[in-house]
Amino acid sequence: MADSYDAIPYRSLPHPDTHPTHLAVLGRLFGLATPDPYACRVLELGCAAGGNLIPLAWHLPEVECVGIERSVSQAEEGRRAIAALGLRNIRIDATDILDAGPELGRFDYIVCHGVFSWVPDAVRRRLLALCRELLAPAGIAFVSFNTLPGWRMRGALREMLLLECRDEVVPAARLARARALLETLAAAGPVPGMPATEHVQAEVRYLLGAHPSYLYHEYLADTNEPLFFSDFAELAEAAGLQHLVDAELATAFPSTLGPTAAQWLAGVDDQRALEQRIDFVRVRSFRKALLCHADVEVRREIALGDLEALAYFGDLRAPPSLVLEGTEPQTFATAGGGSAELRHPLAKAAAAVLGERFPDSVAFAELAAVAGERVRAAGGAAWADDRTGLLVELFSLFAGGAIRAEPRARRVRPPARPAPALDPLGAWQAARGHIPTPRHQGLELDGFAIALAGRLTGELDEAALGSGLRAALAQGALATPPGRALDAAAVQANVERLLALFRRHGVIGPSG
């Protein structure tokens, strides 16, 4: 395992679902007095080069972060970033999970993403034991794993790729051979009348666009063992932990699976059996399990009133004209190409406010007040003070991941500057292919975007950035995207589009 990660380092990105504010909020909704996520200790087990942990330490300076990573070269790459950024609230230890113990101290949040299914049984058990030994009494651990039965569907392609590469031991050559098979399969396309080939084709297309380190470690690694939720829950219980909920909250609700499944599942009282059956219906392939201590009392009924204590943020885009004087359903665009339908005038106004303020968060009281004013001004006085109606739709946005919550409102957008500038974290990571946002997402960059990001030093305005990139393209110092000739107007339009994206996510400030 260590060798393969040294040979092909994993490209680790920020994962919003592992952020301590997200874990704290979910814990609180289930009755736990979770620790302050803005001034806590976070441990990440198997942190690679710190792609998730370093942005956390950068954006939350009061949080103390410790990463454990077995691959020495990845741990060293992370340490170089920490030193270059001058961070004092994070360290990465080149240690095996099997050798880690109480000397690390107590942690409020423990994150172990993309490790459990890919390590031998002894490491899995130690990892869960560490969660129990090191987790604060009301703390939360995040442990993700490949899940049965759904992963079996993806496993078909893994079996093909493993067979294709079985005579090859050099990691880079294994990757090349796997890619060649994927390209052949993609060129062949689905076979008419054979639905299974459609499924594999979708997977092939996804893998051809994915980072090679993902292809290698997910599909060509020696160990990749998916497991049933009920088996995972049993292991967690044996370690003195209990499953709280999945980090993707909506997946815990049978109501999202249609009326017949919901009716079947309504009769299942046992929590573990219920979660397992949900996975059957979803044919689920991945879980992001949140665990807490076994002796903590969990309240399974979420109280809507608890949502009033939180602040919200969301990358939402309102429809061109909002109807705030009636309950006509209207569709908001959500991040990643999704959509959400809202009816209640107060919820529609609140969603518009969140979209305007993103990436900053807005406390519920302020959100309700500003939205109420807009609804009243539009002639919807009958709805303007209906907080319960607002909470119901806000909760469904939150559960579905269209908006996120945190314990207090924060302004995270950088200040305005005359010319765009990345902060040192953004500049460091951009050179390696992505920019972490203040909301803990990773904006993936192509060659053009990396070249642009490298010029965002606060000295060049949009016109100068465009002419610099045109010159780089003309000199052959920058490759044109395959199949796309970029004339002067296209280069400028691309620069403007990317800067708008960076501003939207708060990785550069507004112009001015």
Ligand X SMILES: C[S@@+](CC[C@H](N)C(=O)[O-])C[C@H]1O[C@@H](n2cnc3c(N)ncnc32)[C@H](O)[C@@H]1O
| Interaction of residue 142 with ligand X, rule CB under 6 A | no
CB of 178 to ligand X, least distance (A): 16
CB of 55 to ligand X, least distance (A): 12
CB of 387 to ligand X, least distance (A): 38
| Interaction of residue 242 with ligand X, rule CB under 6 A | no
- Which of 54/378 has CB closer to ligand X? 54
CB of 343 to ligand X, least distance (A): 37
- Which of 48/318 has CB closer to ligand X? 48
| Interaction of residue 68 with ligand X, rule CB under 6 A | yes
**Are 37 and 74 contacting, i.e. CB atoms less than 8 angstroms apart?**
no
CB of 394 to ligand X, least distance (A): 29
User: Beta 286-293 vs 311-313: how paired, if at all?
Assistant: unpaired
| Interaction of residue 47 with ligand X, rule CB under 6 A | yes
Q: Which residues pair with 511 in a beta bridge?
A: 417
182 CB contacts (<8 Å, ≥6 apart)? 161, 204, 207, 208, 215
3-state secondary structure 312-333: EECCCECCCCCCCCCCCCEEEE
| Interaction of residue 5 with ligand X, rule CB under 6 A | yes
**Are 372 and 384 contacting, i.e. CB atoms less than 8 angstroms apart?**
yes
Binding mask 86-115 for ligand X (x = CB under 6 A): ----------xxx--------------xxx
| Interaction of residue 441 with ligand X, rule CB under 6 A | no
- Which of 224/330 has CB closer to ligand X? 224
| Interaction of residue 503 with ligand X, rule CB under 6 A | no
| Interaction of residue 46 with ligand X, rule CB under 6 A | yes
CA dihedral 424, 425, 431, 433 (to 10 degrees): -160
| Interaction of residue 131 with ligand X, rule CB under 6 A | no
Residue nearest to ligand X (CB): 46
Q: How many CB atoms lie within 10 A of CB 70?
A: 23
**Are 352 and 364 contacting, i.e. CB atoms less than 8 angstroms apart?**
no
For residue 63, give Cα distances in angstroms to 34, 38, 107, 396.
15, 6, 11, 30
71, 224, 251, 492: which one contacts ligand X (CB under 6 A)? 71
- Which of 146/492 has CB closer to ligand X? 146
**CA angle, 480 then 481 then 487, to 5°:** 55
CB of 220 to ligand X, least distance (A): 12
| Interaction of residue 134 with ligand X, rule CB under 6 A | no
| Interaction of residue 357 with ligand X, rule CB under 6 A | no
Question: Which of these segments, 44-52, 411-419, 449-457, 487-495, binds ligand X (CB under 6 A)?
Answer: 44-52
CB of 102 to ligand X, least distance (A): 17
First to last CA, the chain: 50
Compute the distance between CA of residue 322 and CA of residue 197 in angstroms, rounded to an integer: 43
Count interface residues toward ligand X (CB under 6 A): 24
29, 42, 54, 69: which one contacts ligand X (CB under 6 A)? 69
Write the burial class of residue 35 (CB in 10 Å: 0-12 exposed, 13-18 middle, 19+ buried): buried
| Interaction of residue 440 with ligand X, rule CB under 6 A | no
**Are 226 and 155 contacting, i.e. CB atoms less than 8 angstroms apart?**
yes
Specify the residue for token string 């869960």.
128
- Which of 44/393 has CB closer to ligand X? 44
Q: Return the H-helix or E-strand segment holding 246.
A: strand 241-246
For residue 226, give Cα distances in angstroms to 76, 95, 288, 473.
30, 25, 13, 46
- What's the residue count for the chain? 512
- Which of 31/51 has CB closer to ligand X? 51
CB of 208 to ligand X, least distance (A): 19
CB of 215 to ligand X, least distance (A): 12
CB of 4 to ligand X, least distance (A): 8
**126 closest CA partner among 143, 107, 109, 105:** 143
Q: Which residues bind ligand X (CB under 6 A)?
A: 1, 5, 10, 12, 46-48, 51-52, 68-71, 74, 96-98, 113-115, 118-119, 123, 217
